[in-house]
Amino acid sequence: MPVEWNESARTWTLSGGDVSYVLHRDGQDRLLHLYWGPRLPGDALRYEPSDYHSFASFDLPVSVLPSEIPVCGTGWFGTPAVGIRDEKGAEVVDLKVVSAEILPGKPLPDGLPAVYTEADTEADSLAFCLEDAVSGLQVTAVYSVFSDSGAVTRRLILKNAGNAPLMVTSLLSASVPLWQGNLDILHLNGAWARERRPVRVPACEGEFRISSARGASGHEENPFLALCERGADEFSGQVWSVNLVYSGSFLAFCRTDIFGHARLSIGMNPDVFSWTLDPGESLTSPEAVMVFSASGLNGMSQVYHRLYRDRLVRGTWRDRSRPILLNSWESAYFDFDENRLLEIARKAAEIGAELFVLDDGWFGKRNSDNCSLGDWTVNPEKIPSGLKGLSDQVHDLGLQFGLWFEPEMVSPDSDLYRAHPDWCLHVEGRPRTQARQQLILDLSRPEVQDYIIDAVSGVLSSSGIDYVKWDMNRNMTEAFSVSLPPERRKETQHRYMLGLYRVLEAVTSAFPQVLFESCSGGGGRFDPGMLYYMPQTWTSDDTDAVERLKLQYGTSIVYPASAMGAHVSAVPNHQTGRTVPLKMRGDVALGGNFGFELDPGKFSPEELEETRKMVLRVKELRDLTRTGTFWRLLSPFAGHITAWAFVSQDQRKVLLCAYSVLSVPNSAPVRVRLRGLKEDAWYETEDGRRFLGAALLYQGITLPLRGDFDSFVCVLKSV
């Protein structure tokens, strides 16, 4: 029974895989959190009120209760999951459970991305209805638990069933008291070109927060936060984590209460969000995905990988190998014409690539990044045959054809801006802050959404496009839509996201065959919200292979390899100036959606030959990297050797990848233990060496790495 109600204990137990999540309705109809951890039977737990009674007058019962949905103004002193300001300016809520309903499968939110089921047997759901009697606020808390993995999702639906407007001032998708302390916090921190670096710090007294107010999930922090037992590592120990299925600003925090117990929360960022609910209106929070693992960080990541690969990503490309692409950006930047593009494409075909992507610079009069965003018509001076003509010629070379767009933006120097100067985010009477000489279109406005849908669809339906790179290259300023009344202007960022999701749904469902890859100055919007619409994301603008070890390792904490764009680029690398051998560049990129970011016309004959062989190998291995279980083995943050492996679902095939950055003198050969193999199976390498599974698991395999920038990629098959 995935969701069990125990009448005598007044508990609901949600169970899936090896995990249970237990809630309790107390004598005053408050919804309390009892447990989240290894699986338990539905009658295992009783709530002991004395556990949580503090008698000092400063510690009101509510402030120390393990509330599942902490609210404002009635004794909860932290950031509430639900904060409401009423017409009189008071912020007081008191939620009582009115009813609870167990539902088969997983209901989906309207207009927001979410993980889904394909059969009702895959998950079960529990919907609580809670009410604040005075204001008329109704909160529906919708939980789902996936039967195979125990991943739990939660979202809140707020409805104003009263007679006066209510302003939502705080809205958290998940807020879980863990009943214990002495934990570590793990988050993914970064910046442009060095996104998602795992950072682990002790959870100490007080509060630890990460957030984005950028109007995008951002390069700086990912909407993910985990708490780990002190001793937990990649392979063992307990980990609790939350990830928000949302692409805009967010807040995540760990608050340690007076007993030293940690609470893990994620949701909307109240610094840049509020929402007025008129009587009868509703608002749904983004969905939080909550993953518990008793087998360390790899165990946690593997649950996210599988769930996102199979039940977040949708459409034609979900279960298909992704084409090997060559993107024009680092080979030509803005400096190209039709002939030059075709020259590059011809070489791309020669090395075995399958898709040629024309990046920035094909439209309006864009020869640098100072104009034309918004004018999505081809520049006939650069491409006289037009997009259709170019696409036909690329198709004739046996390649698919892809195109870059940055549809959410407008350049002040563009026909679109001249026609609609009020369509960008701005505040009357104030300068419009530019970044990369561009402004952001106000996607909270339906007419702007419609314009984007029409402009992009027009190009896609007329030009033979097989792939789209959907970019977004700056963050929000003056995000207070002029189309909204003053009291609603702080809704702009969230309305923008809802507008963006409407646009993405319209465009991606109108062109189901097109492969979409999202991008935001590289990985500035690498989040589950975007993956719901677009099955892959450009991991980072940093294409240096050594940096990519960190990028791919850090990104894999939450996101599957099938979501990561990974390209071989030219040397010296354009971001770091580093020169890494072609072999290692290829061996790193094969850990994601493989491609190129260079002009193969500049290769020597030997390099061309090496690249052709590399591409053939990637074609052999890409099903395994897309569908295999990913194991982080040695961290690039911990030493000079990095290793990871992909193990096929039937455990018969393993791809081991290991890399040495700078060699260390007088060091012993490094041995790495593989994971996820069958102990009693024999595995054979391509050069005929045989190993017993147990030997690989417990003694490991020696890595033949020598010198700087060396790599070792090896396939083992069970015999």
Q: How far is the CB of 474 from ligand GLA (least distance, A)?
A: 10
One of 86, 360, 541, 587 is an active-site residue; which one? 541
One of 184, 471, 527, 542 is an active-site residue; which one? 471
Residue 541 annotated to the active site = yes
Please identify, using beta-carbon distances, which residue of 289 and 531 lies nearer to ligand GLA: 531
Q: How far is the CB of 325 from ligand GLA (least distance, A)?
A: 12
Near ligand GLA in 539-558, by CB under 6 A: 541
Q: How far is the CB of 231 from ligand GLA (least distance, A)?
A: 39
Asked if 471 is part of the footprint of ligand GLA (rule: CB under 6 A), the reply reads yes
Asked if 519 is part of the footprint of ligand GLA (rule: CB under 6 A), the reply reads yes
Going from the C-alpha of 296 to that of each of 20, 632, 650, the distances in angstroms are: 17, 11, 22
Q: How far is the CB of 313 from ligand GLA (least distance, A)?
A: 21
How many C-beta neighbours within 10 Å does residue 684 have? 14
The pairing of strands 96-104 and 593-597 is: unpaired
DSSP states of 651-718: SSEEEEEEEESS--TT-PPPEE---S--TT-EEEETTS-EEEHHHHHHT-EE----STTEEEEEEEEE
Q: Go through the chain and tell me how many residues it has.
A: 719
Please identify, using beta-carbon distances, which residue of 338 and 542 lies nearer to ligand GLA: 542
DSSP states of 499-550: HHHHHHHHHHHH-TTSEEEE-BTTBTT-SHHHHHH-SEEE--S---HHHHHH
Going from the C-alpha of 138 to that of each of 44, 166, 234, 487, the distances in angstroms are: 31, 11, 41, 22
Please identify, using beta-carbon distances, which residue of 277 and 355 lies nearer to ligand GLA: 355
Please identify, using beta-carbon distances, which residue of 360 and 587 lies nearer to ligand GLA: 360
Show the tokens assigned to 141: 């808390």
Q: How far is the CB of 174 from ligand GLA (least distance, A)?
A: 31
Near ligand GLA in 365-394, by CB under 6 A: 369
Give the 3-state secondary structure of 557-604: CCCCHHHEEEEEECCCCCCCCCCCCHHHHHHHHCCCEEEEECCHHHCC
| Amino acid sitting at position 85 | R
Query: Of the candidates 341, 380, 378, which has an alpha carbon nearest to the alpha carbon of residue 358?
Result: 341
- Site stretch for ligand GLA (CB under 6 A), options 52-60, 121-129, 292-300, 519-527: 519-527
Please identify, using beta-carbon distances, which residue of 257 and 541 lies nearer to ligand GLA: 541
| Interface with ligand GLA: number of residues (CB under 6 A) | 12
The partner residues of 424 in beta bridges, in order of sequence, read 441
- Site stretch for ligand GLA (CB under 6 A), options 13-21, 221-229, 284-292, 514-522: 514-522
Asked if 218 is part of the footprint of ligand GLA (rule: CB under 6 A), the reply reads no
Please identify, using beta-carbon distances, which residue of 242 and 519 lies nearer to ligand GLA: 519
Asked if 338 is part of the footprint of ligand GLA (rule: CB under 6 A), the reply reads no
Helix (H, G, I), strand (E, B) or coil at 268: coil
Asked if 175 is part of the footprint of ligand GLA (rule: CB under 6 A), the reply reads no
Contact 389, 342 (CB under 8 A): no
- Site stretch for ligand GLA (CB under 6 A), options 94-102, 209-217, 517-525, 664-672: 517-525
- Site stretch for ligand GLA (CB under 6 A), options 124-132, 272-280, 518-526, 551-559: 518-526
Q: How far is the CB of 523 from ligand GLA (least distance, A)?
A: 8
Q: How far is the CB of 593 from ligand GLA (least distance, A)?
A: 14
Q: What angle do CA 284, 288, 292 make, to 5 degrees?
A: 155
Which of 169, 276, 473, 573 is close enough to bind ligand GLA by CB under 6 A?
A: 473
Near ligand GLA in 425-444, by CB under 6 A: none
Q: How far is the CB of 472 from ligand GLA (least distance, A)?
A: 9
Contact 83, 169 (CB under 8 A): yes
* Token pair 């100067």: residue: 421
Contacts of 437 (CB under 8 A, 6+ apart): 369, 370, 371, 411, 412, 413
Asked if 404 is part of the footprint of ligand GLA (rule: CB under 6 A), the reply reads yes
Please identify, using beta-carbon distances, which residue of 473 and 611 lies nearer to ligand GLA: 473
The pairing of strands 96-104 and 31-38 is: unpaired
3-state helix, strand, coil in the chain (%, to 5): 25, 35, 45
Query: Of the candidates 37, 36, 39, 33, which has an alpha carbon nearest to the alpha carbon of residue 11?
Result: 33
Please identify, using beta-carbon distances, which residue of 541 and 587 lies nearer to ligand GLA: 541
Secondary structure element (H or E) that encloses residue 56, with its range? none
Which of 132, 338, 354, 359 is close enough to bind ligand GLA by CB under 6 A?
A: 359
Query: Of the candidates 359, 327, 286, which has an alpha carbon nearest to the alpha carbon of residue 527?
Result: 286
Which of 94, 184, 310, 360 is close enough to bind ligand GLA by CB under 6 A?
A: 360
Asked if 596 is part of the footprint of ligand GLA (rule: CB under 6 A), the reply reads no
Which of 208, 329, 363, 401 is close enough to bind ligand GLA by CB under 6 A?
A: 329
Binding site for ligand GLA (CB under 6 A): 329, 359-360, 369, 404, 471, 473, 519, 521-522, 538, 541
Active site residues: 471, 541
